[in-house]
Structure 1
């Protein structure tokens, strides 16, 4: 391959890499990092637990739940800390009970319980916590907009290749 063809390819690869927090990172929220491999493992574990294919699991929704679970953790001191055991007890009593056997699915289950609990918290407190959160979201999963009432635009960036 000629050097004149290689340079634009390297430049394009560098631009794609600059769009994400780090190569292979899906999400970082307040220091908790979730790699693409973590998301793959969670999706596969949940798909297995639900008896569906991994393609049936919406990856941006998984990342969104993990992100909002992190926002909930910011509010834990103000609204009362919930231990992992308490979160698991809540999950075991609800729609996630059958999925609790998959260790790989547990991060999503716990984040989903936290996300549902956010709905019971004062919206202004949630939005303040969202603004204060240190979030780095890979654009392939949407855009983090803490000043917007929806908090996220889950439309992926067109400049980032779509995931599975």
Structure 2
């Protein structure tokens, strides 16, 4: 698996989701929600999405980006004044009652996802949306499935390499 050709890079760039521009009013609502809870659960993000008329996935990304910027500022403050006590992100995360439901796939849905993964493990948003519509699940679930499958593949490859090295050492 070598480097991507220029045409493959262009294809990946074309499939990239466009950035979201929020209005002043939407930002005001998001900032207020963030100040109350920087780690909202799935249902809270859904309510916000309905309130500001956008997708839950856009809300999720906004919170991730905001936490990244906010976390950097907190680390800077902490380094300047070690006496300040900041709660860790894990302490702020709720106890799991507000999580997204686990997606169960039928065997035909799984077969469609596996076939698509075999063709290309890095699908752009357009093809993920098409796949999601085809199998009847949200695009975000398809995205998570692909992330998890790529992760599992990396782990399997790593284990295979380790086992091969162990066999060589045992033989020699």
Q: TM-score range by the shorter chain?
A: under 0.3
Q: Which has the larger radius of gyration?
A: 2
TM-score scaled by structure 2? Answer: 0.24
Q: Which structure carries more strand by proportion?
A: 1
Give the structure, 1 or 2, with the largest relative contact order (CA under 8 Å, sep 6 or more): 1
Report the structure, 1 or 2, having the larger helix content: 2
